[in-house]
Amino acid sequence: MSRSLRIGLLVLLVLILGLLGNFLLQRAESYEEVVTHGPSPEARANPYLAAEQFLRKQGIEVARADNLAGLDTLPSRGHTLLLLANRSNLTPRQNERLLEWTARGGHLLFVAERMWDEEQGKSGDLLLDKLNVQQYPVEKLDEEEAEQASGEATDDQEPASEDGEEQPKDAYPYLTKLYLENEQAPAYIDFDTDFHLYDANNLAHVWANSGEATHLLQIYHGDGLISIVSDAWVWQNENLSNYDNAWLLWYLSQDSAVTLVYNADRDSLLALLQRHFAPALLALVLLLVLTLWHVGQRRGPLLQPQPVSRRQLQEHLRAAADFLLRQSGQQRLLGNLQQDILRRARRRHPGFERLAVADQWQILGRLSRQPSTIISQAMRPLGEKRLSASYFTRQVAHLQTLRNAL
């Protein structure tokens, strides 16, 4: 193959590769990797953070409270209290204060928490029972309607109006609808349709219903207003933007300052002490007893440090004892102590050496005023077996005690 032909083939290959690269670049799509980190730590810690920010954007003053400790200083008129927290820990007096605050011109919004108990004639939710508002599960309403329908004659025709026309069907039975004056279409809110609010005294002037149940009631109370909802999940971070949920929050809060309470479990110290008085009193008594026991412990006087000469003497004696132990052994040292005791006894009791061993031990007990167990432990014959360090130490202590007593 000639050189010119090889050059021509190389140029052709370069052109083909260039055209192929240009084609691939034109066909390639841009790739962007999206990493989702989920909710921020602030949003995870505050389920109503989006609601707070939304109200502030509407020009509404919003404050957050962890408990009802500041209710006495909170103005009633021109103020809305959104009580979205669990209220099971509130005392009867705190519930009365909420109603008194509302009667002075405030707007109180709270969530119905308990179901109505037919047998007891109450629900246990102090605010609901005070207003005679009853909450039922929708399943129970369906059962009652079925029982009523079974006792009546029915036909297969669709319900009709007075002029014979069929009633229009609800296009959104699972959405709660709030109708306002001068508005052609209602507002739609996705309350949980498993619960129904019943105004037993027929005092509500505003209500919002889904296909089968009522989920919002408004009742005048003194100079103020009470709003009751079946749930507050519609205003949590993940649900606020659905349907008209955010609009309803604005509608109920407009023209007022707002205080949100959704951590009522973290009550003030005084309220916690009132609620748990008996355990707190018991803990206080135990703490007082432990303190008195600690203070009342017997303590001896502080020991002054020994003089340098005495410490040096102790160190010298300890070193001498260690040297004798290494050189003579355990049996030799113990034997020397026993012989010293016998010499002291002969001085105190003439003829001591001529007595039998049992009589000698009896004399030693009388002279030293030591119990017989100490005498027998100290003066028993020594064997050839090496003693353990602890046993040797106890034996020396017995002998020294006996010798010092003589």
What are the DSSP calls for 334-346, one per residue? HHHHHHHHHHHHH
For 293-336, what is each residue's pLDDT tens digit? 877 766 666 777 778 888 888 788 788 777 777 777 777 777 88
Helix/strand/coil (H/E/C) assignment for every residue in 20-59: HHHHHHHHCCCCCCCCCCCCCHHHHHCCCHHHHHHHHHCC
pLDDT given at position 361: 78
Q: Tell me which of 298 and 251 has the higher pLDDT.
A: 251
CA-wise closest residue to 225 among 206, 209, 242: 206
Inform me whether the pLDDT recorded for 30 exceeds 60.
Answer: no
pLDDT given at position 314: 77
Q: How far apart are CA 294 and CA 192, in angstroms?
A: 59
For 151-196, what is each residue's pLDDT tens digit? 554 444 444 444 545 556 667 888 888 888 887 888 899 888 888 9
- Domain ranges (residues) in the chain: 43-142+172-266, 319-405
43-142+172-266 fold: Rossmann fold (3.40.50)
Q: How confident is the model at residue 37 (pLDDT cuts 50, 70, 90)?
A: low
Using CA atoms of 372, 377, 378, 382 in order, give the dihedral in degrees to the nearest 10.
140
Contact 79, 106 (CB under 8 A): yes
The structure tokens 């007990």 sit at 365
Inform me whether the pLDDT recorded for 25 exceeds 70.
Answer: no
pLDDT given at position 155: 46
CA torsion sign, 144 to 150 to 155 to 156?
positive
| Token digits of residue 209 | 């219903």
pLDDT given at position 157: 42
Which of 18-27, 36-45, 260-269, 313-322 is modeled with the greatest confidence? 313-322
φ, ψ (nearest 5 deg) of residue 6 = -65, -40
Helices (H), 170-276: 245-253, 269-275
Q: Which of 53-62, 158-167, 220-229 is least confident?
A: 158-167
pLDDT given at position 220: 92
Q: Kindly give the pairing relationship between strand 224-229 and strand 214-221.
A: antiparallel
Contacts of 177 (CB under 8 A, 6+ apart): 186, 187, 188, 189, 208, 209, 210
Q: How far apart are CA 136 and CA 143, in angstroms?
A: 12
What's the chain's average pLDDT? 79
pLDDT given at position 91: 84
pLDDT given at position 152: 52
| Token digits of residue 189 | 């809110």
Q: How confident is the model at residue 33 (pLDDT cuts 50, 70, 90)?
A: low
